[in-house]
Structures are given as C-alpha cells and as structure tokens.
Structure 1
Amino acid sequence: MPNATLHLHRDDLPEGLSLGPVVAVDTETMGLNPHRDRLCLVQLSAGDGVAHLVQIRPPELGGPPRREGLADCPRLRAMLADPGTVKLFHFARFDVAILRQALGVEVAPVRCTKVAAKLVRTFTDRHGLKELCRELLGVEISKGQQTSDWGAPELSPEQLAYAASDVLHLHALWERLEALLRREGRLALAEECFRFLPARGALDLLGYGDPDIFAH
C-alpha cells in the first residue's frame, strides 16, 4: 500500500481513537515463546490505509511501571477486549496468547485469515501472509525485517513499514477469504474455529501445545 500512513505511539493508544467495528491486529515480539519473549509492538488498522503501531516499552526503556508483570496500556487493552469489536489476525493463535500473557487480556471476538485460508484453499500449502497477499490481492509485501530486533528502543523506518504491512491488507484479504468460505459452505465452520482461538491460546500458555490434548 504505497500511500499508507503510519502512526507510532509509545506505551498505549491515544485517547479517543476509534478504529471501527473490525480492527486488523498483529504483534512483534522478541521470539516465539510467550513465556520468555516479551511483546514489543502491537499494530492495528481499520483497513483504511492507516496503521497505528503501539510500542510496548518495559520500564527499563522508559515505559510505565508494570502491574503484576503486565504492561499498563488501558486503552489498547480495552479495544482488544471489546466484545463489539472484531479483531482480525493472521495466525491468531500466537497473537492472542502473547497478548494474554503480556497484557492480561482475552482478545475476542477474533477472525484469522490463516485458519480461513487452510479451511478453503486446500489445493495448496501456501497459507503465509506474503503468499496470500500475492495470490489473492496481487500485492507484494516484504518479510525482510521479520527477524530483526523488535526490542530496540528506537525502531527503524524499515521495521515500522514492515510491521504496518502485516495489518494494512488484512481487511481486503478477509473479504476475499470470506467469499471463498461462503462459496464452499464452510463459513459456519470457520466461525466455530474462530470462537475457539482464545481458548487455544490459553492452552498453549499452559503448555498444551505439545502434547495435543485432542490427539488420541
């Protein structure tokens, strides 16, 4: 999205910001273990070409004091927990877990474009965000900053642009995937999967990713 607008916020969303009934959300962390690796950035977009990036700073880097180990960002937490706001993710399973661990919030209701793609695009194993944006939207996004240091006190313009790209296209992507789910008669099944995702994240935090409690 060449004309995208990026807003970087420190520690919380600004007061009075509304992003509408469906908000695209993504996270950047120091790693993929939510018990060990801290949450560094939360990206949000209303699907209007504008991305709001919230840098979650620990007290040692200038952030507010933590309460029971949780980041103090009440406006961000309220938006994520709002039952009237749908949160749209790609691979929600990880994001809802890290947000629960770092912010103490159950993120719901949610939709996940990765789950949707796996339910309806069974002719391929390419379900990554980059591949879906290319194949369904004709949009090329770069993953060059994916493994950069998200815990740095100052994030580079390249990091911010990369982080924004992960939410700027989710509304359009969901529109395409929702149409495919309807066409194939799997939208109701997808909605049941989405309702389970907050519990799936909680199970992961308890260590039930492996072994899988649903396995024989």
Structure 2
Amino acid sequence: MADITQFMPNATIHLHRHDLPPGLDLGAVIAVDTETMGLDPRRDRLCLIQLSAGDGQAHLVQLIPPSLGGHGYDCPNLKALLADPARVKLMHFARFDVAMLFHALGIRATPVKCTKIAAKLVRTFTDRHGLRDLCKEILGVDISKQQQTSDWGAPELSAEQLAYAASDVLHLHALWARLEALLIRENRLALAQACFDFLPARCELDLLGYDEPDIYAHRG
C-alpha cells in the first residue's frame, strides 16, 4: 500500500480490520462516517466506518465479510462505542449513516448531530450543503471527492481511498463548531436539536420502506 501521508500530510490515519482496539477513547463527541457498496442500507454492504475525536487522527475500521476471510459485523468494541448514549455521534447526512449502522450492526448510534441538517437550517441563501462545499466555504479546506464512488468492498483499500475516507471525519468537529454558532445566532439551535432527536425514527421509517411514499408528504 502506498504511503497515506502523501495524500494527508497533516493527519494520522489508523486502519483497523474487524474492530477497534479495546480501550480506545475518542472522547465525548465522535465524528462518524461510513463507506458502503451503495446507497441502499437494506441492500448494500457496510464496508468501512471512520471515526475521529477531532484531534487530527482518524480511526478507520474495515469490516470484511467471512467469505473474504473476515469477521463480518462481529465488532463488539466498535458497537459499544457507537451505541454509547454518553457520546455524541457527529455526522454529515446522518440519515444515511444512522440507518446503515442500525441495519448492519443492530445498534442505535445516538445521540447524534448532523452538520447537513444544521447547514440547511441556517444557510438558506444557498443549496450547496455537501460536505466538500461546507468545508471549503466555512473552513477554507478543500477536500477531494475523487474516491467517493470507488469499490469500498475491496479486500485491500488504496491509500487514496483511506485518505478520502479519513477526510470525511477529520473536519466535522470544526465544521460543527461554526454551524452551531450560526444556529445560536439565528435562534434555531433548539429546532436543530429536535431534528437530531427525530433522526433515529426517520431512519427506521426509511428502513421499513416509508421513504417513498413519505408518510409526511401530502400526496398519496
């Protein structure tokens, strides 16, 4: 595997296979993202989970199916950390990640905060709420999305894939701090929290097939 530092010289990336090491403490607020074989949690395999404490380090857990010599979703340390109600899980587009973690690992990754929802509540002057757009416009950080559609189910991930995956969590703490300040300024923090609290139920509705038709929609 190529040297990851050539793609992210200011970050430390730890790749773990099957599970997190025991005793790893990532603090009270953990940035979380997932990489999968597709965008349907009911159909597509969960391949990689990225975590960061916001300290410039990313911990990537590759989940390898038994057919490829792995342990599948037998990852007790990871599950315990993500399901811990004392730790906030910070995500971008948490609707997908929470649903994926619930379907694949059988855990509710709560409480959760979502930077995409936060951005949509306070950045109503634009429709650009993707992570790359937000990092560039709010933090002045340009992250690459070149590996977004690559094969995350490969037994060996490339350095480019690992760097891309890490970039999705390394900036979430800083991004949330800026968005939280905007939510407070615009008096929408309580509304954002209500949206975050509803996310697990929204995800369960999605998994049951109520994303289309949406039970909240007027039509139908």
TM-score by length of 1: 0.96
Tell me, which stretches of 5 or more residues in structure 2 are unaligned? 1-7
Q: 1:28 is paired with a residue of what secondary structure?
A: strand
Counterpart in 2 of 1:114? 116
Task: Give 1:133-172 correspondences, 5 Å limit.
Answer: 133-172=135-174
Root-mean-square deviation (CA, aligned residues, Å) is 0.8
Counterpart in 1 of 2:40? 33
Spell out, residue by residue over 1:142-201, the C-alpha distance to the aligned partner (whole angstroms, 9 max, x if none): 000000000000000000000000000000000000000000000000000000111111
Q: Matched residues in 2 for 1:12 and 1:197: separation?
A: 26
Task: Give 1:56-205 correspondences, 5 Å limit.
Answer: 56-64=63-71, 71-205=73-207
Counterpart in 2 of 1:49? 56
Q: Matched residues in 1 for 2:52 and 2:201: separation?
A: 24
Structure 1 residue 3: deviation in Å? 1.0
Structure 1 residue 35: deviation in Å? 1.3
Q: Matched residues in 2 for 1:180 and 1:62: separation?
A: 47
Structure 1 residue 103: deviation in Å? 0.3
Structure 1 residue 109: deviation in Å? 0.1
Residue correspondences, number: 211
Q: Percent identity?
A: 77
Q: Matched residues in 1 for 2:84 and 2:62: separation?
A: 21
Q: Matched residues in 2 for 1:33 and 1:186: separation?
A: 31
Q: Which runs of 4+ in 1 moved over 2 A?
A: none
**Which residue of 21, 42, 45 corresponds with 1:14?**
21
Q: Matched residues in 2 for 1:35 and 1:63: separation?
A: 21
Tell me, which stretches of 5 or more residues in structure 1 are unaligned? none
Structure 1 residue 123: deviation in Å? 0.3
